[in-house]
Amino acid sequence: MTTTGPTSDQPTGPTQSTKPTTAELTDAERISASLALLWGTQERTARGPKRGLTLDQIVSTALTIADTDGLDALSMRRVARELRVGTMTLYRYLPGKAVLLDLMLDAVSDPAKDIAQCQGKDWRGVLEVVAHSSRRRYLAHPWLLQVNWSRPVVGPNTLAGLEFVVSTLAGLGLTDQERFSVMISIDGLVVGVTRAQLHHEAAVAASGVTDAEFWNRHLPVLSKAMLSGEYPAMAALSEDAYGLGWDETFEWGLQRVLDGIQALIESRRQPADQPPEPASQPPRPA
Amino acid sequence: MTTTGPTSDQPTGPTQSTKPTTAELTDAERISASLALLWGTQERTARGPKRGLTLDQIVSTALTIADTDGLDALSMRRVARELRVGTMTLYRYLPGKAVLLDLMLDAVSDPAKDIAQCQGKDWRGVLEVVAHSSRRRYLAHPWLLQVNWSRPVVGPNTLAGLEFVVSTLAGLGLTDQERFSVMISIDGLVVGVTRAQLHHEAAVAASGVTDAEFWNRHLPVLSKAMLSGEYPAMAALSEDAYGLGWDETFEWGLQRVLDGIQALIESRRQPADQPPEPASQPPRPA
DNA sequence: AACTTCTGAGTACGCCGTACGCAGATAAAA
DNA sequence: TTTTATCTGCGTACGGCGTACTCAGAAGTT
């Protein structure tokens, strides 16, 4: 009874798929299909005519569209038009748009260059390279931050990067769980800060108003609007409080996280220095 | 010439608005309209009949839909149906869906309770409360992470929270720019990690496969698929590497960031310890 | 040559946001 | 009270979307 599929029948509740318009194809089916296309190289059985397209052609066309005109401009009709085929032709290669997005995701995550750049670096240097590389990728493909949502299919490229980072974090006295926490935290910082940046830049570009102008324009409005108390701390900020660029802000935050991680690693190395180390209720080195 | 609007004429390039379907209403106009509705309380001029709805009714209905059935289920038609009015009736109150999202955003960010919870805490305690509160909000309203994108309109609630954090970071020896960096880093960590969590939970729920099963199922596939080298580090991970819950993982990362910030603050307090300290090229203990 | 299977693609359906315009209600102006 | 200006709710329609269904014809196998 997958036909005339209901709008939301996932057990997840609020966190559902992306576009349940007329969608047959549950999330589980999509994940299976994506994994098969990512990892599988089933031979062509070759009975009928040869295919006129390849998966790579479709994916790279879709990537170009998303990079150039944004995710909203990416539609099956548009991809097909660009490839000069009928819309439904694409469905001979992919079961749906969701799978296409999965393939696009893995296609842009190629850790080969980053790994090469890490030769001879210690864990801190490696994490810096990986973080910057990840950040650069999000800036180059802003649609990634609109899409990653609920499509964590692991492809070859994704996994290779993961393997690399896990291995560089070995032998530092961190538990397996902590090594995962390191990666999630670094990635979280990258995603969060970069998302805020794109967020912000889009607004600035759309409104044509600089930061200082924006705030100065709205501060009088708000201090009048809220009768009880004004906003002294905001008002007292110096003009150049917003002057630090996003790159520098990100770097600042990254270094704070790395400092914190390094402190933990060093405290593990000489556990005699600090008696119990309350700090954070850490996961018990013992 | 706004009619038959072209699909993408923003100077931003890739980072464009959300749904340029048939949209009259540029981003600048949207921001103005949203600010007017958020801050303004223009009186009814009262010539025609009285209005049958209020903005709050519309916004809270939309919030219920988004929280319950996800952002994809939120449509103007759905909101109108739920309110038992015609679809176009909503456009008497709002110029479009984008503005509705702006209003929803400000509606869910009410810092009053969090501020009350911070009495007597130092900067670190305050940042902890704020971070957890923000995280709780994202978990309660997952659509926030799909929506914030490119709509940073500042409403009364948003600004009150900002003011509060800025003021608690005063007097610690941090520059204005660094205080902003602290806020952006903490928020970035919250957004990034929580997004990864929702991300992950949706996938697990949809596929019905636990983490360990997922990895174990695909490890043989991938080591066979990629001829050069296997994935020893991933394979060597203990079973419970994934056992740390998301709350604990987030807390771990948060404490690392706070440790790093605290180290910087303390190094500023006794500047005799370290010679010049150029502030942005941070300590680098080794 | 006959058969089988696969290809590309036209058509159609039900969603979406929203521009346009109209009938009726209502308060101000006469 | 009558007139008039304005505002109300909202029906209809347009162009977009993802994709299910269907079928003619091409290209292999037998």
Tokens read off for B163: 């003011």
DSSP line for A123-139: HHHHHHHHHHHHHHHHH
Residue A276 has pLDDT above 50, yes or no: no
| Residues B18-71 pLDDT 10s | 444 555 667 667 777 777 787 666 666 667 778 889 999 999 999 999 999 999
Residue-level pLDDT at B113: 81
CB-strand contact B21/C, under 7 Å: yes
Residue A274 contacts B, CB cutoff 8 Å: no
Residue count (chain B): 286
Tokens read off for A8: 């939301």
DSSP state of B20: -
Q: Could A166 and B255 be called an inter-chain contact, meaning their C-beta atoms sit closer than 8 Å?
A: no
Q: Could B203 and A69 be called an inter-chain contact, meaning their C-beta atoms sit closer than 8 Å?
A: no
Residue A285 contacts B, CB cutoff 8 Å: no
| Residues A85-130 pLDDT 10s | 999 999 989 988 988 998 898 888 777 787 888 888 999 999 999 9
Average pLDDT of chain B, as a whole number: 77
Residue A231 contacts B, CB cutoff 8 Å: yes
Tokens read off for B121: 């805490």
Average pLDDT of chain A, as a whole number: 76
Residue A120 three-state SS: coil
Residue-level pLDDT at B7: 28
Residue-level pLDDT at B104: 93
The whole model's pTM is what? 0.80
- Of A59-68, A205-214, A273-282, where does mean pLDDT reach its minimum? A273-282
Residue A197 has pLDDT above 80, yes or no: yes
Give the whole-angstrom CA distance, residue A35 versus residue B218.
Answer: 9
Tell me the angle at which helices A246-269 and B246-269 cross, rounded to the nearest 10 degrees. Answer: 100
Smallest Cα distance from B210 to chain A, Å = 13
| B218 or A199, higher pLDDT | A199
Residue B19 makes CB contacts below 8 A (sequence gap 6+) with: A72, B97, B98
Contacts of B263 in chain A (CB under 8 A): 259-260, 263
Smallest Cα distance from B184 to chain A, Å = 7
Residue-level pLDDT at A150: 52
Residue B146 has pLDDT above 60, yes or no: yes
Mean pLDDT value across residues A252-263? 98
CA nearest neighbour of B260 among B285, B235, B225: B285
Which nucleotide's C1' sits nearest to the alpha carbon of B100?
C17
Contact A82, B27 (CB under 8 A): no
CA nearest neighbour of B236 among B252, B222, B219, B224: B219
Which nucleotide's C1' sits nearest to the alpha carbon of B98?
C17
Residue-level pLDDT at B276: 47
Half-sphere exposure of B276 (CA within 13 A, CB side): 3
| Residues A30-67 pLDDT 10s | 777 776 777 666 666 666 677 888 899 999 999 999 99
Give the whole-angstrom CA distance, residue A133 versus residue A118.
Answer: 11
Give the whole-angstrom CA distance, residue B109 versus residue B126.
Answer: 17
Residue A233 contacts B, CB cutoff 8 Å: yes
End-to-end Cα distance, chain B: 61
Which nucleotide's C1' sits nearest to the alpha carbon of B51?
D8
Give the whole-angstrom CA distance, residue B130 versus residue B124.
Answer: 10
Give the whole-angstrom CA distance, residue A214 versus residue A226.
Answer: 18
Residue A207 makes CB contacts below 8 A (sequence gap 6+) with: A214, B27, B28, B31
CA nearest neighbour of A133 among A107, A151, A120, A115: A115
Give the whole-angstrom CA distance, residue A144 versus residue A70.
Answer: 10
Give the whole-angstrom CA distance, residue A264 versus residue A253.
Answer: 17
Residue-level pLDDT at A231: 66
Q: Could A241 and B11 be called an inter-chain contact, meaning their C-beta atoms sit closer than 8 Å?
A: no
The top-scoring range by mean pLDDT among A106-115, A240-249, B96-105, B209-218 is B96-105
Q: What residues 156-215 of chain B have any CB closer than 8 A to a CB of chain A?
A: 156, 159-160, 162-163, 166-167, 170, 176-181, 184-185, 187-193, 195-196, 198-203, 205-208
Residue A16 contacts B, CB cutoff 8 Å: yes
Residue B97 contacts A, CB cutoff 8 Å: no
CB-strand contact B80/C, under 7 Å: no
Q: Which of B166, B193, B206 sits opposite A234 (nearest CB)?
A: B166
Tokens read off for B52: 């049958």
Give the whole-angstrom CA distance, residue A9 versus residue A12.
Answer: 8
Residue B182 three-state SS: helix
CB-based burial label for B218 (10 Å; 0-12, 13-18, 19+): middle
| Residues B195-248 pLDDT 10s | 989 877 877 776 666 666 666 666 655 555 444 455 677 666 666 666 688 999
Contact B8, B20 (CB under 8 A): yes
Residue B3 makes CB contacts below 8 A (sequence gap 6+) with: B24
Residue A84 has pLDDT above 60, yes or no: yes
Tokens read off for B97: 């869906």
Ramachandran sector of residue B49 (left: φ over 0; alpha: ψ -120 to 50; beta: rest): beta
CB-based burial label for B233 (10 Å; 0-12, 13-18, 19+): middle
Mean pLDDT value across residues A153-163? 67
CB-contacted nucleotides of strand D (7 Å): 5-12, 14-22, 25-29
Residue A213 has pLDDT above 50, yes or no: yes
